[in-house]
Structure 1
Amino acid sequence: MKTPHARILPVWLLLIVSCLAVAQNEGEETRWFSVDSVNAGLGPPPEEVDRKTPRDAVRSFLALSAEENYSAAAHHLDLRDLSPEQQAERGAVIARQLAAVLQRGEWINLSTLSSRRDAMVEATSGQSPRAGQSRRNLRLATLKIDGQSYEVRAARFRAGEQDPVWLIVPETIAAIPALYKKYGPSWLEDHIPERFQGAAGILKLWEWFAIPVFLLITGSVGWLIHALMGLLASRLPAGLTSVFAQMIRLPMAFIAMALLAQWLLDYVVSFSGMVTAIFRGLLVVIMAWGVGLVAVRLVDTLLIRITRRLVGEIDDSRSRDERKLLTTLFALRRAVILMTVMVVAIYVIAQVSLFETLGVTLLASASVVTVLVGVAGQAVLGNILASFQISLTKAIRIGDLVVFEGQWSYVEAIFYTFIRLRTWDERRLVVPVKYFVSKPYENLSSKHAKLYRTIELTLHLSADVATLREKFKEFAMAEEGVIDHHKLACFVTGQHQATQEISFYLMGPEAMSAWEAEAKVREKLMAFIRDEHPEWWPRDVVVLSEHDIARGDIPAKRRLRRPATVEEVEAPPTQGGETSSG
């Protein structure tokens, strides 16, 4: 009699075998597509046909197409949507059209294709989430027609017990007529003699002559546009319009070159895939750079107009609000430039498929980005951040008068990486922003442009301060560069054994006018003392004995420090042998 365990054991074995069979079928279904047959109408594939891996399949197809052996190249296509008779009849034609599309549409980098039979995603430094997984369908290229994307894909197929092979999928085969109409031979290539169609190195023979002519034509058009824009700028009335036309000469020339080159590549001539890929990538970069530069120049022109209309000459004689407005406008210009650069960069990356050609891992890796930014862009980024810091804190404004490292200068412009200062003698100091903010500087226009100036005179103790005070007020009030007359002041600020220091204070509307008024008032005070009261100048008093005077023996250290006046020479010695010298 069988035990219950003996009766249950066969059931468990049957379940295990079924699960293993299902798992095997599921594993096979994820490794390849099962089909009844592979291109039965083409017959057995030649020996030169290699379809084991994605890289081998594409390399073999391109090599056979280069030899114009399209009958053999057709074995790389999945033609199951055609009958066996149509496969034999149209297979070579479809292979020739696909080869022309791949040659002119998008350059396929074989090194990026998997060299494994199962196309397994190998582990990299980026640790792709699909690492270790096999694939049975790969994208080789993406081509666009009137805004619609068409993918050239290869998949792994297995017919019966045959070895799996990699073929171009039927969906791509169905799109080949439309792709060939867009990316097929150009009008010029159809009229090139057959003897020039042969390969000469990496290019065809006719391409070695056509590429220099292509570059010469586009360069000539760019030079012509540059000259015409210069002529237009000279003919326009003097003003912002002519300035703007002059500023966009170069970007307009490059835009015209890019548009012409794109038109030639679309309708006149088509080169091999590698050359076309390089040209199209460069055209995208040039077009984006030209449009972005035109936008920046437009912002510059508007900034010049607003500056001339609202602010005028850049100095601290303008109100604080006007100088603040101009500083904000320059900050807006930097923001526009930054946004333009970002938009252009995103557009270029999207158009040239940079993430696909260079690899997501390289650009997404935080360590690589950190190293590049930290090492190569440290100085530039430091200046940019310092520039934004100045714009936000308004520590200095356009038109402020600053004393930087002993130089009196007006802040003329604040750019991304440097500050341009205009000195009082019309020189220009270009200072890196990071260096400027790291050094102490004096902002004479921080609150307002008005500035006190001080005149200091060292006079004899006998000088009458009241008289000097009255004269100082008279001279200062007569100067146009002196304001706030009620703040004029005169004080004795120091005293020594035989002299006193008298300080005079005046205020000017701005630093340069105050300095000029200070110099003029000083000249008048000195002239008044020299003409009216020369005895107020500092002088030394020496005591000489009658014996020294009789012998004329006056020590050198006691000699007069200035030439004696006539009165002093003729005056008799005072009682006690004292004499004075001014």
Structure 2
Amino acid sequence: MIPRAIRSYARLIAVFAALWLAALAPVRAQEGGGSPNWYKIDELNAGLPRAAPDVLRDTPQATMESFLALTKAGNYEAAAHLMDLGKIPRERQAGAGAELARMLETIIERRVVVDWFSLPDVPDAVEANPSSDDPFAAQPRRSIRLWIVDLDNRPVSIRLNRVKPEDGEPVWVFSRQSVENLPALYGIYGPSKLERMLPAWMQDEALWGLRTWEMIALPLFIAAIIAVAWALHHALTIVARRQKGEFATMMFRALRRPLTIFTVTFLAGMVTTHVFVFSGRISAVLSPLIIIGYVLAAMVLLMNVVDTLLDRLVVKNDEDLSSKEQEQRRGLATQVTAWRRALIVIIFIAGTGFVFASANVFRTLGFSLLGTAGIITVVLGFAGRDVLSNILSSMQIALNQSARIGDTILFRDYWCVVERINFTYVQLRVWDRTRLMVPVREFVAEPFENWTAMTPELHRVIKLRLGHAADVERLRETFYAIALDADEGDMADDTDMLCVRVTDQDAIGIEVWFILPCNDANTAWTYACRVRERLMAEITRWDREETGGPRYLPDISISEAA
């Protein structure tokens, strides 16, 4: 029984091993076969003559240096040895190789920024200073991506591969797929018709690897873009002024800036794609800027249109929004601003992601261009935590509506109206027409009185310090008469709360509260001031004319009052 069981298990293991090897076979074939250190091929450029000694292909850096040196010297036939021409028939390799090398030179010059730090000068391409976070950093490599270029709305890579023909040593060459894409890439990024019409001296190299025509065209291009932006913005401003309707004027003013940004960005993209194709150093900066321009135009358009609709939707004057009739509009205005902030955050995050995903400079160089991603994240986190906290706090205010736009509040003893709830600060309009700017985080953290949170009615209290002998009943009757006479539609319907209360006493006198019910928090202060003035005038007249009666105002010296 035991030997038979062992044989059964052995057969089962053999079957699983055979299946495993069969499954690995296509995977190995897809990987290109050969050693993990190179791709195995049948032959390499058999249609080319023997490579000259100055064609160095031992390391990735040597291949790139050799290609740039040979093409700069005009030796495109020798530079063809640095490309894998395996997809070209052997009899055509000699003629097509030089032309493809010329195309690759142009593509590298105009679209590629060579990161020499990512090109090891060792045959197995092991990084000299591998990162401890990457478990494969110290492993040999057989393919290195130099750059990513857009081709027909899809990204294609320019790669160096390490290949080994059957009768030769492993060498580093531009990959077969990269060579196959060269004609299509050259048709997009090669010299335009206008460039080919330029004299030879303008196409010579000048400074910093730039050609003479680039040194001339770049400042002219920037000046032209600025001039077009100014002219378009000025023209849209004139059109906005000539609109008869107020809403049309507001919309034109809202559209002029994003339309200017979009138009300038579109023209810049068209010029740099079809008229003048700048070199890689300039394109590496212009390409992200063009994408940022489109994202910025969309963001500004959203903010301006929403602001215009908000001003139109709410009321024409912010002061009207604080009145008691605008209860519903206050909530609506706050909700609209909350959605505005949410959309801005979404567009900013999506736009930033789109810029990083679309701009080749980030996809190829990655964070090596920016430094260490972890350090940058920590720095940005510490630098932006206050801003992020304020943004989240502003969203909190807008969602729970503890303070709505147009609400009348008492904040830090300031009687004011909430005028704007921005990302990082709350703008309050104080009663004396000044503006109080409060960081959102502080505004949320501190308690404040919202006089119009639920209803606009409130009770104003007039506090007076009077003498011990003051006739409270007489004061009550006088207060009732003055409050009714001074009412200009400000008193609340609940007149039962119109009352007088003695709340405290001391050696100086008594403290009397005159409680005044008001139907509107915005006019309550003015109403209370009118009543206080007339009440004090009446009390002063009593003390002045009725010498034999009780004294209403305390008869004390300044030192006693202090």
Q: Which TM class, normalised by the smaller chain length?
A: 0.7 to 0.9
Question: Aligned match of 1:242 in 232, 242, 249?
Answer: 249
Deviation at 1:318, TM superposition (A): 4.1
Q: Deviations over 1:165-224 (max 9, x none)?
A: 111233332322222211111112100112222212311122211222222222222122
Cα shift readout 1:257-304 (whole Å, capped 9, x = no counterpart): 211111112221112222122212211112221222112212222222
1:185 maps to what in 2? 191
Q: Deviations over 1:131-165 (max 9, x none)?
A: 33322233333322332443323221223453311
1:341 deviation in Å? 0.4
RMSD: 3.2
Match of 1:381 in 2: 388
**CA separation of 1:367/1:260 partners in 2, compared to 1, >3 Å: closer, same or farther?**
closer
Mapping of residues 403-414 of structure 1, within 5 Å: 403-414=410-421
Residues 116, 193 of structure 1: alpha-carbon distance in 2 compared, 3 angstrom cutoff:
same
Decide which of 59, 62, 65 is 2:68's aligned counterpart. Answer: 62
SS in 1 for 2:79: helix
Alignment of 1:285-304 (within 5 A): 285-304=292-311
Q: CA deviation at 1:461?
A: 5.3
Q: Secondary structure at the match of 1:537?
A: coil
Which of 87, 105, 119 is matched with 2:125 structurally? 119
Contact 2:467 2:551 survives alignment (8 Å):
yes
SS of the residue aligned with 1:154? strand
8 Å CA contact 1:137–1:156 kept in 2: the answer is yes
Instruction: Say whether the 8 Å CA contact 2:465–2:554 is kept in structure 1.
Output: no
Instruction: Give, in whole Å, the separation in 2 of the partners of 1:73 and 1:390.
Output: 65
In 2, Cα distance between equivalents of 1:332 and 1:339 = 10
Give the 3-state SS of the residue equivalent to 1:30 in structure 2: coil
> Which residue, 58, 79, 84 being the options, matches 1:78?
84
Aligned: 1:534 with 2:543: no
Q: Measure the CA separation in 2 of the matches of 1:363 and 1:200.
A: 28
| Distance (whole Å) between structure 2 residues aligned to residue 379 and residue 177 of structure 1 | 52
Is this contact kept in 2: 1:157–1:167, CA < 8 A? Answer: yes
> Pick from 331, 337, 354: which aligns with 2:338?
331
Distance 2:261 2:554 in 1: 79
- TM-score, scaled to structure 2: 0.84
Q: 1:40 to 1:452 in 2, by over 3 A?
A: same
Any idea what the Cα deviations from partners look like across 1:344-383, whole Å, max 9, x if unmatched?
1111111114553443689998853652243211221221
Q: Distance in 1 between matches of 2:507 and 2:202?
A: 106
Counterpart mapping for 1:165-244 below 5 A: 165-201=171-207, 202-244=209-251
Q: Does 1:518 align with 2:528?
A: yes
1:52 alignment partner in structure 2: 58
* Matching residue within 491, 497, 503 for 1:482: 491
User: 2:4 corresponds to which residue?
Assistant: none
Alignment of 1:305-320 (within 5 A): 305-308=312-315, 313-315=320-322, 317-318=324-325, 320=327
Alpha-carbon separation, structure 2, partners of 1:157 and 1:196: 39
Distance 1:228 1:397 in 2: 38
Q: 1:418 to 1:499 in 2, by over 3 A?
A: closer
Q: 3-state SS of the aligned residue for 1:206?
A: helix
Does structure 2 retain, via aligned residues, the 8 Å contact 1:35–1:157? yes
Of stretches 267-276 and 461-470 in structure 1, the one that deviates more from structure 2 is: 461-470
Q: TM-score, normalised by structure 1?
A: 0.81
Residue aligning to 2:17: none
**Structure of larger gyration radius:** 1
Residue 134 (structure 1) aligns with: 140
Matched position secondary structure for 1:60: helix
Structure 1 residues 534 and 133: alpha-carbon distance in aligned structure 2, compared to 1, 3 A threshold: same
Query: Which residue number in structure 2 is paired with residue 359 of structure 1?
Result: 366
Specify whether residues 177 and 459 from structure 1 end up closer, same or farther in structure 2 by C-alpha distance, changes over 3 A only.
Answer: closer
Task: Name which of structure 1's ranges 423-432 and 495-504 shifts more when overlaid on structure 2.
Answer: 495-504
Task: Label 1:354 to 1:401 Cα distance change in 2 as closer, same or farther (>3 A).
Answer: farther
C-alpha contact 2:320 2:326 (8 A) present in aligned 1? no
Q: Report Cα offsets for 1:365-407 as digits up to 9, x if no partner.
A: 8853652243211221221222223233333222222222221
Alpha-carbon distance in 2 for matches of 1:138, 1:495: 89
Q: What's the counterpart of residue 105 of structure 1?
A: 111
Measure the CA separation in 1 of the matches of 2:295 and 2:318: 33
For the residues of structure 2 that align with 1:367 and 1:172, how far apart are their CA atoms?
33
- Which residue matches 2:153? 147
Could you tell me how far apart the structure 1 residues matched to 2:128 and 2:555 are? 100
SS of alignment partner, residue 265 of structure 2: helix
Displacement after TM superposition at 1:496 (Å): 5.9
Query: Secondary structure in 2 aligned to 1:199?
Result: coil
Q: CA deviation at 1:420?
A: 0.2
Unaligned runs of 5+ in 2: 1-27, 558-562
Residue 450 of structure 2 is aligned to residue 439 of structure 1: no
- Tell me the distance in 1 between the aligned counterparts of 2:513 and 2:100: 100
> What is the identity percentage for the equivalent residue pairs of Structure 1 and Structure 2?
34
- Distance, in Å, in 2 between the alignment partners of 1:328 and 1:475 is 42
Matched, 1:508 2:518: yes
Mapped partners of 1:42, 1:154: distance in 2: 19
